[in-house]
Amino acid sequence: MASSFSRFSQTLLLLVVFWGITSSSSNAQLSTDYYSKSCPNLFSTIKFTVHSAIMKEARMGASLLRLFFHDCFVNGCDGSLLLDDTSSFTGEKNAVPNRNSARGFDVIDDIKSAVENVCPGVVSCADILAIAARDSVKTLGGPNWDVKLGRRDARSASQAAANNGIPAPTSNLNRLISRFNALGLSTRDLVALAGAHTIGQARCTSFRAHIYNESNIDLSFAKTKQSNCPRSSGSGDNNLSPLDIQTPTYFDNKYFNNLIGKRGLLHSDQELFNGGSTDSIVRAYSKNPSSFSSDFVTAMIKMGDISPLTGSKGEIRKNCRRVN
């Protein structure tokens, strides 16, 4: 009896140990030194390519940052946004939030090629997006942070998930808060991440209704924007306007000053300062740029933690546009 119990205990212990090993490997944690040995020149390689791209076109920094956001909000930070359509799935590039809008894929291709030259088959496209986003912010005058790494790449993508997962520029405050909360991001994270609109541009089709039909907007600002965005749909849809009218290619807190002056370009921007629960956060960021920078970094790291593929899940793509 005692012998049988002993054998049972040993078997149970082995099962627990085995479960612990497999569990830890399948739920591997992201870390800032993930590639320190396998790809020691990773950061300098990516930084050079990102910096070169932004020097050619300052807008590219915002475009690369936006790619990371749009990737993470659709089934997690797994590089699925980068996949071209195939016979087996329709990808995310032509989803409503990305069609004629998401850009910078060629820069990601350049980065991937450069990284493959120094450490082939090691670094995921998902991690490249995360690092490129950080480097873009830093290059344009924003804060620096240590990027957590170790993500692997998805083998599929979903246009439907992209259509449903990325908040539209017409979203009201409740919708924005709800969507961010569903991904583990707080209301403060929402406002901080919205501050990324201190750089970049938007298409007329994204802000037309706001500048013609809504009252929570400075009239002179609206008229200025109307000069480059005709009222009629189909006319000038792709005409661009900076999201931050003060310093559109410099990462700072001027975006929040714009909101207080009712000069938010998108409906969803101005919703953050429209008599609601986020007004106080906007005011605080407008007065304290270091507080905004600190909270932005915190929110970016949290966003990068959304449902990554780790361990044996996914793959390390050789080409970011297609599965291996």
Confirm or deny that 78 is annotated as ligand binding. yes
- Which residues is 202 bridged to in the sheet? 241
Q: How far is CA 225 from CA 170, 232, 294, in A?
A: 17, 14, 32
Q: How far is CA 235 from CA 58, 96, 226, 238, 316, in A?
A: 26, 18, 12, 8, 43
Question: How many H helices and E strands in the chain?
Answer: 14, 2
Confirm or deny that 167 is annotated as ligand binding. yes
The pLDDT assigned to 209 comes to 97
The pLDDT assigned to 28 comes to 62
The pLDDT assigned to 34 comes to 98
CA 241 to chain centre: 21
Confirm or deny that 92 is annotated as ligand binding. yes
Confirm or deny that 184 is annotated as ligand binding. no
| Helix then strand then coil, % of the chain, to nearest 5 | 55, 5, 45
Confirm or deny that 271 is annotated as ligand binding. no
Domains and CATH numbers, the chain: 41-166 (1.10.520.10), 179-303 (1.10.420.10)
Give the count of beta carbons closer than 10 Å to the beta carbon of residue 15.
10
Structure tokens at 310: 């780790």
Catalytic residue among 51, 70, 210, 267: 70
The pLDDT assigned to 18 comes to 43
Confirm or deny that 252 is annotated as ligand binding. yes
Instruction: Specify whether the CB–CB gap between 137 and 44 falls below 8 A.
Output: no
Token pair 């924005």 is at which residue?
A: 176
Confirm or deny that 230 is annotated as ligand binding. no
Q: How far is CA 238 from CA 42, 234, 280, 307, in A?
A: 36, 9, 34, 33
Q: How many CA atoms lie within 13 A of 124 on its CB side?
A: 27
**pLDDT tens digit at each of 324 positions of the chain:** 444 444 544 544 444 444 443 333 334 689 999 999 999 999 999 999 999 999 999 999 999 999 999 999 999 999 999 999 999 999 999 999 999 999 999 999 999 999 999 999 999 999 999 999 999 999 999 999 999 999 999 999 999 999 999 999 999 999 999 999 999 999 999 999 999 999 999 999 999 999 999 999 999 999 999 999 999 999 999 999 999 999 999 999 999 999 999 999 999 999 999 999 999 999 999 999 999 999 999 999 999 999 999 999 999 999 999 999
> 70 catalytic, yes or no?
yes
Token pair 């082939």 is at which residue?
A: 120
The pLDDT assigned to 237 comes to 96
The pLDDT assigned to 4 comes to 47
